[in-house]
Amino acid sequence: MKNNVFLLFLFLFIYSCNNLRHTSLTGLVYGTTYNIQFYSSANKNFSKEIDSILNEIDNSMSTYKSTSIISKINNNESVEIDNHFKNVFNSSKKIFQKTSGRFDPSIGLLVNYWGFGPEKFDIESDIKDDKLSYLLQKVGFDKFEIIDDNIKRPFDSYIDFNAIAKGYAVDQIGNFLIKKKIENYLIEIGGEIIASGLNMNKNKPWVVAIDAPRFDGDRSIYSILELNNTSLASSGTYRKFKIDSIGNRYAHIINPLSGYPSRTNILSVTVKATSCIDADAYATALHTMTIEEIKDFFNNNSDISSLVIFENNNNELEELDLNSFY
């Protein structure tokens, strides 16, 4: 599961602007926080409806709930999948194909194997046996498909949508607000964001700040940008990693092609896309690529943009602005 780069919001709380009521909803969900801001003429904050959407998604795709659809699938139980599961599955399949397998929700077994999940393994000793090759036989999203309302997959495989579900939830809440004729909103769950219209208090686009990559646990701002009718998602490797006996740093993001944690100089990836579900997934997938592979990917995918922060050979921070991110 990826470690999200939290984005800091710059906004003022106000309850009336141009005859529109400003609503601010905050809380805890999916093991993280959410912040929802919108301007509406309705004398209602829609908190119950939004909670219902969040709970539906949690009951469908939470690997931490034994009664969820995805948990039953991972326990080899027979269960019908719902529309939320289908939507995320289909989006995952699309991005799996577009990234040539770099984004792969079936790598949960490998996440546990390398000690980034609930089960712990010793990196130095376990690679000497054949357990990794055994697990790799059950990994690969091309081995998974939906037939009617059921999922076909390798027995004892493990599917995990943690790298995409928050982005999907952001989109779903955005769709709900649009149906309520709300045009000016900002939705954030665990650092994944969608912004529409304006921050009407300032009559300007919504403004967010991107965290600087820091290994000391502190937080500081790297850059500030305006969001105007777009989605944003970030993924970082600098908060969650392992170091082997000779000092190599391994990211918590697994490379599905090799089965190994990403040994990378990329510290932070932030992606802008039309939908938050896409931005969320691409931000994870890019961490498994080299800098040159990332450049090639964006040369062939002009519909998304990205800010990549990495360490150069002199251990200095550099950035890539891909497809006019700023």
Report the candidate in 5, 34, 3 with the shortest Cα–Cα distance to residue 211. 5
CATH number at residue 35: 3.10.520.10
Q: Is residue 289 part of a domain?
A: yes
Measured at the CA of 18, the angle between CA 15 and CA 23, to 5 degrees, comes to 30
Q: Which parts of the chain have pLDDT scores under 50?
A: 1-17, 119, 121, 123, 128
Q: Which residues are CB-contacts of 300 (< 8 A; sequence separation ≥ 6)?
A: none
Determine the Cα–Cα distance for residues 58 and 82; give it in Å rounded to an integer. Answer: 12
Q: Is residue 1 part of a domain?
A: no
Q: Is residue 19 part of a domain?
A: yes
Determine the Cα–Cα distance for residues 115 and 211; give it in Å rounded to an integer. Answer: 26
Q: Is residue 2 part of a domain?
A: no
Report the candidate in 198, 225, 233 with the shortest Cα–Cα distance to residue 37. 198
Q: Is residue 131 part of a domain?
A: yes
Q: Is residue 3 part of a domain?
A: no
Q: Is residue 88 part of a domain?
A: yes
* Confidence (pLDDT) at 6: 41
Determine the Cα–Cα distance for residues 133 and 58; give it in Å rounded to an integer. Answer: 32
Run of H or E including 272: strand 266-273
Q: pLDDT (tens digit, 9 = 90+) per residue, 208-238?
A: 999 888 766 678 889 999 998 999 999 876 5
| Long-range Cβ contact pairs of 58-66 (< 8 A, separation 24 or more) | 58/29, 58/30, 60/84, 60/85, 61/85, 61/88, 61/161, 61/165, 62/30, 63/108, 63/160, 63/162, 64/31
Question: How many domains does the chain divide into?
Answer: 1
Determine the Cα–Cα distance for residues 61 and 35; give it in Å rounded to an integer. Answer: 21
Domain that holds residue 127: 8-322
Q: Is residue 296 part of a domain?
A: yes
